[in-house]
Chains A and B, each alone.
Chain A
């Protein structure tokens, strides 16, 4: 990434933090009063972004599959970037969901009174497993450079690098072999852990029998595919921006095209089965996606900008890594619409006929529009993630192709 682009992004992230801090203050002072959602649509924009960031963590999962299942060793070189991206996405995901809770300071309850019949408990467990795996993986991937940097007297903050290297002062070839082996073991563990993580995220919704779209065995599979599409597209864009490695971007582009087509096929199946089943709740929910207030997010944002244009780019310019990176970028940013259209329509249908005409209150309606505070907090968290990511690429040895360190890449 060029210095100018880096500074512009940094400035935007800082601006986002400043602007978004109004929302954060409001959230802590007034709790949930400023939220746009209510009791019939009890999850809103923050849960949408939470699902979005869960998906973005799948980039490393995809790279691990390619490296260890399909034995394409070339992809090992982006291990650091993909592992670090997972950590940042997990940071954003956890911040979103924590702020969404009515009592975020009771998170410790997951440890002292967990209910193992709840898929939310299992999802929290698998999230922690992912955090631990990718923290350890990042540490073992970065340790060699952290030790080298901590010994470099000319480098600013060498004491911080010493602390991050846990005080290690020398790094021998045996250490490298040992760390590589540890990373390999962690990556292999991440395969079943990742499947459980993304699958549980889907099952979390699929088990709810009163939610016609979600209550399907297709949902966990849809979540795994969605994660691979969005996470894979993100890591492809990042490789193009930070590592300029065309030999990696091109094959990844083909994989994303295949995954995206597979995901759209699953969506078509969902609509086909839904309309053929023709139960009132299911058809009403599907109609909300296709013809409701936010149908433009489905047709324009998801299908046109996030699917059709990227597919055309992938097919028409298969060797142009810049076009592939743009296609992937479009897939990533428009994927918020996919998450929105998954979450809101199934909530926005009254579960008992006539409920809409009794006890009027804005919290007891099914129409939902995110409030200003919800947007501001979202801007704040995303800016925090961007800032942390940029700081990592600048001051940590994330970009692995060059042993001299990240500063030269900026």
Chain B
């Protein structure tokens, strides 16, 4: 058999890694993401997959893909850099939150308690990666023509089209009015609600180039642990000492 070709899709292996991790004590897991920028084709499927999964409103994005042109003509290349939340091990956003609404969970994921967040946006200012966005309460369907609506409040199209519940943090955040997560800081949470049911984060699943890897870095047999041994590994803005849990491969 030709071993040069992968014997299985990397997703299958990561899925197996995930199931193995979930047999462990949760405190022993450290979720980690590895992104191979050499394999990223800049299709933005992860961005859109994330928006769809988390029902993100306009202006809120958890995982944009930064596009860069490097080199000088004729030696130019495009480079793509997906940028989720870095889930730093020394997170500036956690330190500045005045009401402990944002914190590290047992598995090293930086999470936000939407019902505690006061919307001061100090964390947005503190994040060196601009990984947080504020939910202003906007609707994609805000400009959609509609029958005369109520004098005050949302239109029926907004209520109908964008009322599908988001499942972030394992809760149903259905109606978008003035309640959370509207008025909150929002960010990538490694799809904790999917992990809870043994599913990989949506950006990993939707990556057509298989450039995004996910797993428990405390498991030496996991794919991510294998990749972290690569000499191509680097992290963004390492000089700041934030120690991101998202690693890149050059």
Contacts and interface: CB of A to CB of B under 8 A. Distances in A.
Interface of A: 29-33, 35, 38-40, 42-43, 100-104, 106-107, 109-110, 113-115, 117-121, 124, 207-211, 347, 350-355, 357-359, 361-364
B108 interface: no
A70 to B, nearest CB: 36
Contacts of A353: 66, 68
Interface in B92-106: 92, 94-101
Contact of A361 (B47, B58, B118): B58
Interface in B122-156: 122, 124-130, 132-138, 152
B118 A107 contact: yes
Contacts of A29: 152
B236 to A, nearest CB: 8
A31 B134 contact: no
Interface string B209-227: 0000000000000000000
B66 A352 contact: yes
B136 A113 contact: no
Interface stretch (B31-39, B163-171, B180-188): B180-188
Contacts of B98: 110, 114-115, 118, 120-121, 124
Given A113-B100, A115-B98, A211-B125, A102 B134 contact: yes
A363 B92 contact: no
A106 B116 contact: yes
A351 B122 CA distance: 15
B12 interface: no
Given A109-B116, A124-B98, A32 B183 contact: yes
Given A102-B184, A359-B61, A354 B116 contact: no
Interface in B61-117: 61, 64-68, 81, 83, 92, 94-101, 116-117
B119 interface: yes
A103 B180 contact: yes
B36 to A, nearest CB: 18
Nearest to B113: A113
Given A42-B124, A120-B98, A359 B47 contact: yes
Q: Which residue among A104, A352, A361 has the maximum number of chain B CB atoms within 10 Å of its CB?
A: A352
Contacts of A30: 137
Q: Give me the 5 closest cross-chain CB pairs, A-B, nearest first.
A: A102-B119, A102-B183, A363-B59, A210-B128, A120-B98
A226 B1 CA distance: 75
Contacts, number: 153
Given A209-B92, A353-B68, A102 B125 contact: no
13 contacts: A31-B182, A32-B137, A32-B183, A39-B130, A42-B125, A102-B184, A103-B118, A110-B99, A121-B99, A210-B128, A353-B68, A354-B67, A363-B58
Contact of B117 (A43, A103, A110, A347): A103
A42 B92 contact: no
Contact of B67 (A35, A38, A114, A357): A357
B175 interface: no
A87 B198 CA distance: 56
B144 to A, nearest CB: 16
Given A120-B122, A358-B65, A33 B138 contact: yes
B240 interface: yes
B52 to A, nearest CB: 14
Contacts of B99: 106, 109-110, 113-115, 121
A31 B137 contact: yes
Nearest to A211: B125
A362 B136 CA distance: 12
Nearest to A209: B240
A151 to B, nearest CB: 46
A39 B124 contact: yes
Contacts of A347: 125
B49 to A, nearest CB: 14
B8 interface: no
Given A43-B121, A361-B61, 12 more contacts: A29-B152, A31-B137, A31-B182, A32-B119, A32-B134, A38-B136, A39-B60, A118-B97, A208-B125, A210-B240, A351-B128, A353-B68
B178 interface: yes
